[in-house]
Amino acid sequence: LSMLLSSGADLNGFDFVPIIIDPDKSNGDVTRTIDILNTYKKVRSKLSFESGCENHFFQTKIGLKADSEHEAFRLVLENIENEQFEDYIDYQGLKESDKALMSMLFSKNNLNADMEVGFKGNPNIGSVVLNQFKSSEAYQNFSGTFEQGDRIFIISSIFGGTGAAGFPLLLKNLKDKDENVAAWNLIRQAPVGAVTVLPYFGVKKDEDSEIDKSTFISKAKAALDYYRKNVKSLNTLYYVGDDKQLEYDNVEGSVNQKNKAHFVELASALAIIDFAKQSSELLTTDSEGVPVNPEFKEYGIKEDVASVTFSELGENSQNSVQKGLTQFLLFEKFMSEYLKDNLNAAWAKGKPEITESFLHEPFYNDFLKNYRNHFSDWLNELAANNRSFDPFRLEVGANNLFELVKGVKPRVGLLERGKNYSRMDYMASKVEKDLSSLPIEDKFMSLFYQTTERIVKEKYNF
């Protein structure tokens, strides 16, 4: 979602306030996600989006804090570090009859489970531990800033432990009456959407691991049956999954869990954008927080292909991603392959000038460079996964730049001035004339947002 927002997608004017619930404090995927979010904030902190600044890159505000402030973005679960589940529930302190009940609900392996890296596909453990989230600082901050008109969206997998357990529990707590929670009634009646992510990858067999891909389908079916009977409080529920599944290394958590970006995750992000753009009139609830007209949606592509390009996406998906991603990729290529050696171009000479010293400022050299690296990694990982999302020829360069988009032949004007990066040079020089009143960071981003927008329209009619 952050990649789509940085490339110009919008959430219908909503800010984006992510809260990550994961007991695994060192999880490599979570650590990378938080770095991406905070890097996004740092880039945005230098941009004003004032009048005359026609730039949609990084336009959506992320988080509750000011753009320049580092944010944790996660809900901290207490009393799980270096602790077994039986200690968490004080199993040894229970009466014998209660111990017998616990032994029916939890296996010996469950009771001895170390929870430091998560619930390892055990939603029965997660449903107990996650019940504390309402007292957390992250939830208190969320409820304390919640306003009329805000919406809630829950993202969870259904074939593991944390997501499958946390989703219905979170939904129940959001809909409960609780006068100890600020804005509890607004939260209770707010529109709620969710995406339930069905199995879309496998893990390699490991006799020493508690994670077994052969249980993914049965766990998903059991959870779906539970949701069908008990989950009644959603305005819109989205389903997404895939039967083309790459097997990841069997890593139970911590720093080594770094899964490749996947097309299913992109489709899940599109569900959030779809929910944000739904009319408020279609997302009504009664006084008890029960939706009046709930909807259920699945995600699909036009053809069952192993490698998805823009042409396999439905119309709404194409409209949400193809223009912005193409623009941002052209921006990234211009920055990495052409910018530094061409600061004598006309677009760099107007006031304020884009100089060598600007390229050494934190905005460009740290924040934007770090984010661009994440963006490149993301596209490469999507292209290498199965099913892949591979709409671009990432290898194109100075001699064939506009052959970038697979399946789309770039148009060439009869009297067109300049080719490849030279064409972008020419277009940028035309755009720059109207940007002299802006601060340097706003000018820089507006210059290349408008330049890439014109190029994408001219070459691909996006």
Q: pLDDT grade, residue 254 (50/70/90)?
A: low
Residue range 6-10: average pLDDT? 96
Lowest mean pLDDT among 108-122, 386-400, 409-423: 108-122
Q: pLDDT grade, residue 131 (50/70/90)?
A: low
Residue range 198-208: average pLDDT? 74
pLDDT of residue 53: 82
Torsion over CA: 135, 21, 193, 66 (sign): positive
Q: Across all residues in the chain, what is the average pLDDT?
A: 88
d(CA 191, CA 275): 9
Tokens coding 431:
């755009």
Helix locations, 339-368, DSSP H: 346-349, 362
Between residues 76 and 261, the one the model is more confident about: 261
Q: What is the distance, to the nearest Å, from the Cα of residue 187 to the centroid of all Cα atoms in its chain? A: 22
Reported residue count of the chain is 462
Evaluate if residue 80 carries a pLDDT over 70: no
Evaluate if residue 253 carries a pLDDT over 60: no
Helix locations, 306-410, DSSP H: 315-334, 346-349, 362, 369-384
Torsion over CA: 129, 131, 134, 135 (sign): negative
Lowest mean pLDDT among 162-176, 361-375, 428-442: 162-176
Helix locations, 198-340, DSSP H: 216-230, 263-277, 315-334
pLDDT of residue 75: 79
Tokens coding 211:
């994670």
Residue range 448-457: average pLDDT? 98
Compute the C-alpha angle 17/21/24, nearest 5°: 135
Evaluate if residue 163 carries a pLDDT over 90: no
pLDDT of residue 461: 96
Lowest mean pLDDT among 232-241, 246-255, 291-300, 374-383: 246-255
Name the one residue in this structure whose structure tokens are 């699909």: 300
Evaluate if residue 332 carries a pLDDT over 60: yes
Evaluate if residue 303 carries a pLDDT over 70: yes
Contact 200, 262 (CB under 8 A): yes
d(CA 84, CA 82): 7
Evaluate if residue 54 carries a pLDDT over 60: yes
Q: What is the distance, to the nearest Å, from the Cα of residue 113 to the centroid of all Cα atoms in its chain? A: 30
Residue range 298-307: average pLDDT? 95
Q: pLDDT grade, residue 107 (50/70/90)?
A: confident
